[in-house]
Chains A and B, each alone.
Chain A
């Protein structure tokens, strides 16, 4: 009898271990490439965290429509400027956090304070509010005024990156995020999965997805295979090589732009003819469809075409080897040390085929007559070359970088990359500094025009850098889902936008 009992117990355990949990038709499984280290809303600008947290658990005051619909209200119903540096936001009423508390102005003030708090380093604070002093004044329970020093005319857009947490949230990283979003964190099995379940008391429309399970696989082929076998419903990032099924695989603009930053402070890169030659010496078209995906677009600016001020009149520099050689000869005749060895610096694993792209660029430059060598570095070492302070004794350097701007406004890029004080700028041009300051302070059409003029000035008049490609990502979506990835998929996956066929 005892043996029989043990046998039955063993059999039932084995069956439990062997049987996968039954899932409902409206449950989805999403396979991400990186596991979450943290699940704090203030870190949601990291893509792997944002894809779980943003607009699912935690919502923002405003929301940038990834399909080109501009800035939309989310937790803020409306906003208006009070003066040049202060904005007033009217908050949505009747919104509750997943812990049952009500959402109000106190929570917005606390969230802003928390992302820049000294006790914890939040990526959202560093990314969107670094260098600004933000103060708040609560007018009433559902009205708040936010002041930025220096003035920030795109405050409503900046707030599309701020995740709102309850005012009780401690000034330390939380492992149990509370938000106003349509989902709440129900399980976090470290190393295995994160599970979100739909809230019944969400203020907005009830989404179709009832439960989302996020699993983590670092291998591209495995993520693609998981969707193919039905183990997962969506893999936001797969390799181009695996994107072979037109029914499930999508290319989408991922808001990343690859460019070469030229150190305009060091000869011979301080000569405009040399910089123009660098632009003319490469056959950008040759990369497309070969070692860069066919869906990628040749770039004329550091921001993707969906960004305001993107200048459609700019032409991609033509591949003209003779002209490049002539410009170099002209510079040499004027005493520019064009024979000086230039170091082309690439970042390993920055994107698929980055090494091959860098080697091809090197060959093209050497063909044009440049004395150049290639060095590849992993991210931390590469950042020493890319970010200020630069080494005093450095030689002429060209740095390959990939920049992400999914926020729709160049302000998130231009100061850092082109202003004289910008952290990753190797350009010192007072006209550029002024245009960035003017555009940052301007609104509406004027803002758009200044950005547009700046892009033209950077490319056509001073050849500030070598723009290469607006990149694309590849994703696999199960046929049962009604969902198309957009430029926003690089940073968030809103479960409420997923339907079923």
Chain B
């Protein structure tokens, strides 16, 4: 009897899916929140804000930003379930098992990535409303952005949730760090390409997610650069996976 990474990950992924299916109130928030942001901010600023040299209006520009917000909020709030698991003792019961820790982390990440993917798929219904065309979508870049981007943010948020180990504290700290990072990721407005901004942007995973979403939804001659952003996200994912897995070894995770 030995548990493999895939078996553990799939069991925990299935658990998250069953829970999601049962918690119908969560379905409502799936698309309503990002849609509301997009409609209110996008339509509100569309006539007064222009995006120079992009060939898009603000509604289209912020549509991509709203999708990044989906990734952020779903992974941010989804990671809270791990704090609840730690405090209820469920996680402790999992951690005393012979299951490889990376399988436990991978299962939680897979659950959050699936939720983000469902959310983004539902929001894609509004592509024509944004004035974009399904025929122009680069599905590979969009899918890669969704999977890698949500995997990075899931791992960061799960690791932080175990480190902070308090729902209120986690909300306060992560809201303080991640929400400003979303604003300066290029989701709301284009960011300068020089100076300190460019360094922060390079380290900020949401910058790369925003670039990939935009490249996936809006045809651009700079498609080749997408590989650079995918590579950076890949490296960030490995680092975040290590961080989240290392945190499962902490006593806080075992709640003892």
To the question of whether A and B form a pair in one complex, the answer is: no
